[in-house]
Structures are given as structure tokens and as C-alpha cells.
A = this chain, B = another copy of it.
């Protein structure tokens, strides 16, 4: 059983032309699954096709989501491509390390790219298991969207040769939808006891909680167990058999 190819997720992409270029970059290295989260100019976008230079297949199969949470719901591991320093406690890795991790897992992986102008928002990065940063010239970092996509697609492609077709982990990490379920469960219980106070700290606290549970690598079964434990201590009774 081999690892599935990573999904490329463009979060709030601005220009159709750049979506087309990203598709072209992907297909050069055999990546075909593109997802778009709230593309600014809607979808389909007539500027995308001409810029794809023949990578129409990627554009035709592209899926559109209104939220990032939905776009990563079936992904076990999410990488956020970014160059800016972040206030988050998310590990930062290089492209090669990312590629090796993707190839070593049987769950589906996703790589996130932010809007052309601003890059990923901090809340979007908080969804990720790791930040992936291409090591560029510290005095001149100017990668556009398609270039960032092509470099990471290239690294993934390189790692394919070295891929061991064996399954490493006993249970794959749960899809992000399950992680979201756990986070939502905790937040609801914490909210009920007035934990999110003062209001100006709430978002930071939520980001911390997200980071804490995203990094666990828990399987679906383990997440279920933790939710059962949480229910038990909150309801003050043992779980039903």
C-alpha cells in the first residue's frame, strides 16, 4: 500500500491566471488533485484555462469548498506553505522533510497555499500539522504561487523514487474532520464553564487548543477514546457499555 498523492489546496486564490499556473506546475510532477477554498472571483474562472497550458484535467477536476475545514476534512496530515514567521507553536520543516513524511504515511496529505498577496492567515496555518518553508535567499525571498507549488511538487516527485512501499504506522492519523470534532467537543465543554475569558484572549486560546490536538497524530479510534473520557468526566458517570 503506497501513500496517496498530496492534494494541493489554494486558500482564497485571487487571480484565475495563477490558479491555472499552479495547475500546470502540479501536473508537471504528476499531481492532479486541486482544491480551491473560496476563490475570490468564483469558479470556474475563464482566466485559468489559458494559463494552465494544457493542464486542463487538473482544473476540470478541481473541487471548491467554502471553508478550509471542509477542504481538509478527509486529510490526515496538512502542511502550510509559508515564508512568514508565525506566532504559532507549529513545527517548521523543509520541503524534503515534508516529502518524506507524505511518502511515509498511508493517510491523505494536503499542502496549503495562501492568497497571492498576503499568504495564509494565522487561523489557516493553525489547521496545519506543520509549516513547510522553502529555504530561500534571506535577502530576496520572492516566490510566487506557481513557483512555491512547483518546488514542493518537485520535492514530492523526487521522494517517490525513494519511497518504501511498506506501511509504517499501525494506525494512520485520523482525518482532520475527526480532529475538528474533538476540538469542537472540548471547546463546547470549556465554553460551558466560562473558560474563554477575557474575550480578547479567546482566539489565541482557541489557536492553542487547535495546535495541541492537531499535533497528537491520534487515530480515529484514539480520538473516539478521548472524547469518551471527556464525556465521562463531564457527565460524572461511566460510559454506557
Contacts and interface: CB of A to CB of B under 8 A. Distances in A.
A218 B150 CA distance: 33
Contacts of A55: 140, 142
User: What's the number of copies of this chain in the assembled complex?
Assistant: 2
A11 to B, nearest CB: 22
A142 B53 contact: yes
- Leading 3 A-B pairs by shortest Cβ distance: A94-B164, A194-B238, A216-B216
Interface residues of A, number: 71
A97 B168 CA distance: 12
Contacts of A239: 195
Interface stretch (A21-29, A37-45, A59-67): A21-29
Given A27-B137, A193-B237, A167 B212 contact: no
Contacts of A217: 215-217
